[in-house]
Amino acid sequence: MLTIRTPSHPFKDQRPGTSGLRKKVAVFQQPGYLENFVQALFDVLPDAAGQTLVLGGDGRFYNRVATQIILRMAAAKGYARVLVGQGGILSTPAVSAVIRHHGASGGIVLSASHNPGGPEGDFGIKYNIANGGPAPEKITEAMFERSKTVSEIHSIDSPDIALDALGTIYLGRMEVTVIDPVAIYLDLMQKLFDFNGMRKLFASGFRLRFDAMHAVGGPYAKAVLEGALGAPPGTVVNAIPLEDFGGLHPDPNPVNAEDLVHHLFAVDAPDMGAASDGDADRNMVVGRRFVVSPSDSLAVLLAHAHRVPGYRGGISGVARSMPTSQAVDKVAKAMGIPCYETPTGWKFFGNLMDAGLVSLCGEESYGTGSNHIREKDGLWAVLFWLNLIAVTGESVEALVRAMWKEHGRCVYSRHDYEGISLSSADALMRDLRASLHSLPGKSLAGCSIDFADDFSYTDPVDGSVSERQGVRIVLKDGSRAVFRLSGTGTDGATLRLYLERFEPDISRHDLPAEEALAPLAALAEAAANVRLQTGMDCPSVTT
């Protein structure tokens, strides 16, 4: 055992919330910084004797160094076994799947999700518990407190372990098993989806372009799509995970995955396009000359879930984050199943799933998932779509349009105002909150407001209350403008404005979103003085 004295590194300006700690690589490279996080974690966890830890990351810069440090510290903590992905690689959904499959006591994910990577980019770390989901706040808060007083790092004195060959090695008395990063995940997908049907789909000439954005989704997409499903080689592009994601921003939306959208709008476009993010938990789906909004995607998956083997037994309920469009609510209502509205962030879904209340869930931010694991899952969502196309014979566009026709269309857009000062962001939200009581019944920019509030959520399982989760200004037909500040940005503050308009009239389903949403944008401006308060004429990103 090696004990290193170290200054403590409380995570000052960023507590390690349930999405973990994300910082510039240079911050993590400070002596003792990563170690401090891991020691704080190990100190608040119970004794590890006899237990298994899962470890892997999205392959970004510093992944390998961090993996070795954590392995040595895990040996000092006394774990019986660590399952580490080959090369230190495991996608976030795969970590969740491996924890559940092996009954591990938890897992460490090395990722800053969709944030850029490389020596100048971001690195991140988070802990997942035995259900496969992110550690709840009581653990992350205890870690934060502990991080302020950690003064000793417990490690063992040992050379680096070879991570590139599968097999078992001993580190002190701890067994380290280097596992195939894909095998358990592939197995799980085979239990959920109709692989024969999808194999026939590809054999019949169906063309998919999957852009892995040089992130960790590459090896998974290759093994599942080109391997198990026989899609032609080259179906998966940007498939090799690179430490800096090839300089790309691995955040799949029509802005960052512009190249994919371009291919899907070309004359010889494939039938379907898809992309996943840095750690492969987000997904984007594109039809031929047709971009699918994540909120619509969730509604379509629910409407057809009974056609997919893993969900044939029925859907107990669905959940969406508050800013996500209400398309899925309409489908759920028609099906007679409950639909839960939670605050932004995946952690709220975990409780509902563990209690069996929800089988499918999703967010407008390109995250969709189900109770097969406790994280969102990018490739899973793409397979769900492929399975639906295989059984219905319909195109991506036809599936979405049929949902609009039956339930009406929730036209949707998110406007991000990035890099604004914390003080102007706070002022905007404060002024808006102060005016809420005067808005109901009022007409602003030609819209008559039905109600306005600051979203508060009471967890139906544990009764915990989360307040101030975003301001909603809602019209009679459910159309609305929602305001909240991002909780994940690393530079200044980001205001997110979500606009949603309900359009039952099928002859108006093709109006460009910008046009359809113009009245709501005017309402938002009138209610919150966005231009003046942010000092910006228009959003920096619109999706």
State the catalytic residues: 113
Amino acid of residue 162: A
Which of 25, 212, 218 has its CA nearest to residue 118?
25
Nearer to ligand G1P, 96 or 235 (CB): 96
Q: Does 374 bind ligand G1P (CB under 6 A)?
A: no
Residues 241, 210: Cα–Cα separation, whole Å: 14
Distance in Å, CB of 90 to ligand G1P, minimum:
17
Residue 356 CB neighbour total at 10 angstroms: 11
The 496-535 contact track toward ligand G1P, x by CB under 6 A, reads: x---------------------------------------
Residues 82-121 that bind ligand G1P (CB under 6 A): 113
Distance in Å, CB of 411 to ligand G1P, minimum:
19
Q: Does 22 bind ligand G1P (CB under 6 A)?
A: no
**In the block, residue with structure tokens 């604004």:** 420
* Cα separations in angstroms, 257 against 40, 211, 222, 240, 272: 37, 8, 19, 16, 14
Q: C-alpha angle 171/19/365, rounded to 5°? A: 135
Residues 96, 81: Cα–Cα separation, whole Å: 17
Q: Does 190 bind ligand G1P (CB under 6 A)?
A: no
**In the block, residue with structure tokens 């004429």:** 537
Q: 406, 302 in Cβ contact below 8 A?
A: no
Determine the length of the chain.
543
Q: Does 486 bind ligand G1P (CB under 6 A)?
A: yes
Q: Does 346 bind ligand G1P (CB under 6 A)?
A: yes
Which of 311, 286, 483 has its CA nearest to residue 396?
286
Q: Does 113 bind Zn ion (CB under 5 A)?
A: yes
Q: Does 350 bind ligand G1P (CB under 6 A)?
A: no
Interface pick for Zn ion out of 226, 281, 375, 416 (rule CB under 5 A): 281
Q: Does 344 bind ligand G1P (CB under 6 A)?
A: yes
Distance in Å, CB of 370 to ligand G1P, minimum:
16
Dihedral class, residue 316 (left if φ above 0, else alpha if ψ from -120 to 50, else beta): alpha
Q: 130, 106 in Cβ contact below 8 A?
A: yes
With CB atoms as reference, the residue minimizing the distance to Zn ion is 113
Query: Using CB distances below 5 to 8 A depending on partner kind, what does residue 343 bind out of ligand G1P, Zn ion, none?
Result: none
Amino acid of residue 323: P
Nearer to ligand G1P, 296 or 363 (CB): 363
| Span near ligand G1P by CB under 6 A; candidates 31-39, 134-142, 461-469, 483-491 | 483-491
Nearer to Zn ion, 279 or 329 (CB): 279
Instruction: Report the chain's terminal Cα–Cα distance, integer Å.
Output: 51
For residue 337, what are its two tokens? 């199943």
| Residues contacting ligand G1P: total by CB under 6 A | 14
Distance in Å, CB of 489 to ligand G1P, minimum:
6
Distance in Å, CB of 282 to ligand G1P, minimum:
7
Query: Using CB distances below 5 to 8 A depending on partner kind, what does residue 256 bind out of Zn ion, ligand G1P, none?
Result: none
Which of 449, 299, 477, 471 has its CA nearest to residue 388?
299
| Span near ligand G1P by CB under 6 A; candidates 122-130, 153-161, 344-352, 460-468 | 344-352
Nearer to Zn ion, 147 or 370 (CB): 370
For residue 325, what are its two tokens? 């469009």
Summarize as ranges the residues that interact with ligand G1P (CB under 6 A).
19, 113, 321, 344-346, 363, 365, 367, 486-489, 496
